[in-house]
Each structure stands twice: as structure tokens, then as C-alpha cells.
């Protein structure tokens, strides 16, 4: 009997605490417009756990904005590649030096020496460049788009030759003693979008 009297106050206190919690939960649930949406304490069960996804939409009076990664449209300039870069053929200098002992051939020998040391040709995928002068200060460039016609003139036994380029404005550019002159002339025609048909004239000495 004494044990029952000791347990009775503890049971009464637990019942009072449970009634207080129930009253507080009912009081809180009455303040929400949807009491059924209150979160319930989770219990340890063996069943699957269901998750709820909340979809938040922006107000209709504000247009939705989307962010896209910025793309760089910077275009690198076309890289210039060299097809040929060199001076006059060395055979032109040797032949004219051998014939320079005569006074009649001396002017041609001096011209060959000048071409060998102070003249340079450069053919790239963008332009044709002719550099001349003691320090290379004289330079002329023109694009393949202005080329109208290309002709070749073989020299000696065809080891070197002249390339005569006619521009659309009527200007003729005479490139003397060019190595690989046939190959270079075909390259110029192909870059100028012209039929690759060489117009070759007769041989004209050295």
C-alpha cells in the first residue's frame, strides 16, 4: 500500500504534463489556416520515407530572367604562313660573274650582284612582298585579290626564271631570277582563285 501511494503523485504529474502539451498543441494549431499541414514528428519505421518538393513561382507581374553564360566571339586574326621566303637564285649570280669579265656584260653582272644581296621575295598565304634596298627599306606588298594574271619566263636551262605578275590596275610586277618559279607562279594563281594554267614565254638568256 505504501508503494502505491508513492507512485500515485508521479502518475498524476505525468498526466498533467501530457494534458498541458495537448492543450498547447491545440492552441497552436488553431492559429494556422490549415492545421493539417503541420509537421508531425517522425517516428522510426521500416516503411519508405516520403519527401515533399516545394515549387516556388515568381509573381506574374515580374518577368522571369534567365542567365546565360557569356560567350566570347572574339575571332583571332588569320595566321600568316610563309610559302617561300628567299632571294634570287644563286645560279643567276654565278653565271653573270663568269660573264662579267667582258665589258659588255659588266652592267648585267652588277645587276645580278645587286639582286643577290639586296633583293628578297616573300610569298605567304595573305600577300606577296618584295623587299629591296641596302637595309631593306624599300618594301612593296600586295594581296592576291588584286592579281589579274601571272606569267613565267625561264632563264638559262630552266633552273630559275622570272615571274611577271599583272595586277588588275594594269601594273606589272617583274620578279627576276626567282627559284622554284613555276611552283611559285602556280601558288599565286591558286591563291588568286585563277585557273592554274601557266603562260610561259620563250627563254631569254640569263
Where are the chain's structural domains? 82-200
How many Cβ atoms are within 10 Å of 181's Cβ, its own excluded?
24
E-strand spans in 61-206?
82-86, 119-124, 127-132, 138-143, 147-155, 160-167, 172-179, 199-200
Q: What percent helix, strand, coil does the chain show, rounded to 5?
A: 35, 25, 40
Domain 82-200 in CATH 3.40.50.740: no
Q: Are 87 and 116 in contact (CB under 8 A)?
A: yes
- Check residue 205 and report its DSSP letter: -
- The pLDDT of residue 197 is 84
The residue among 116 and 28 whose pLDDT is bigger is: 116
The residue among 186 and 38 whose pLDDT is bigger is: 186
- The pLDDT of residue 146 is 96
User: Mean pLDDT, to the nearest integer, of 77-83?
Assistant: 84
For 70, half-sphere exposure in the C-beta direction (CA atoms, 13 angstrom radius) is: 2
Nearby residues of 78 by Cβ (< 8 Å), 6 or more positions away: 125, 126
Q: What percentage of the chain reaches a pLDDT higher than 70?
A: 60
Phi, psi of 165 (to 5 degrees): -105, 125
Give the predicted TM-score (pTM) of the model.
0.58
For 158, half-sphere exposure in the C-beta direction (CA atoms, 13 angstrom radius) is: 5
Confidence of residue 196 (pLDDT cuts 50, 70, 90): confident
- The pLDDT of residue 150 is 95
Q: Are 93 and 112 in contact (CB under 8 A)?
A: yes
Amino acid at each position: 500500500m505504501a508503494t502505491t501511494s508513492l507512485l500515485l503523485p508521479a502518475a498524476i504529474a505525468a498526466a498533467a504534463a501530457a494534458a498541458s502539451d495537448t492543450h498547447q498543441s491545440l492552441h497552436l494549431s488553431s492559429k494556422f489556416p490549415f492545421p493539417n499541414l503541420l509537421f508531425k514528428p517522425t517516428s522510426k519505421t521500416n516503411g519508405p520515407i516520403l519527401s515533399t518538393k516545394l515549387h516556388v513561382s515568381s509573381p506574374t507581374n515580374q518577368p522571369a530572367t534567365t542567365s546565360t553564360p557569356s560567350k566570347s566571339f572574339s575571332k583571332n586574326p588569320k595566321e600568316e604562313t610563309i610559302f617561300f621566303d628567299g632571294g634570287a637564285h644563286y645560279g643567276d649570280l654565278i653565271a653573270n660573274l663568269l660573264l662579267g669579265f667582258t665589258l659588255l656584260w659588266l652592267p648585267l653582272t652588277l645587276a645580278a650582284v645587286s639582286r643577290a644581296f639586296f633583293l628578297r621575295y616573300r610569298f605567304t598565304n595573305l600577300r606577296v612582298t618584295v623587299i629591296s634596298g641596302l637595309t631593306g627599306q624599300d618594301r612593296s606588298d600586295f594581296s592576291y585579290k588584286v592579281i589579274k594574271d601571272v606569267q613565267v619566263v625561264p632563264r638559262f636551262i630552266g633552273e630559275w626564271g622570272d615571274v611577271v605578275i599583272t595586277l588588275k590596275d594594269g601594273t606589272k610586277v617583274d620578279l627576276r631570277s626567282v627559284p622554284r618559279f613555276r611552283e611559285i607562279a602556280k601558288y599565286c594563281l591558286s591563291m588568286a582563285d585563277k585557273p592554274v594554267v601557266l603562260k610561259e614565254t620563250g627563254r631569254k638568256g640569263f
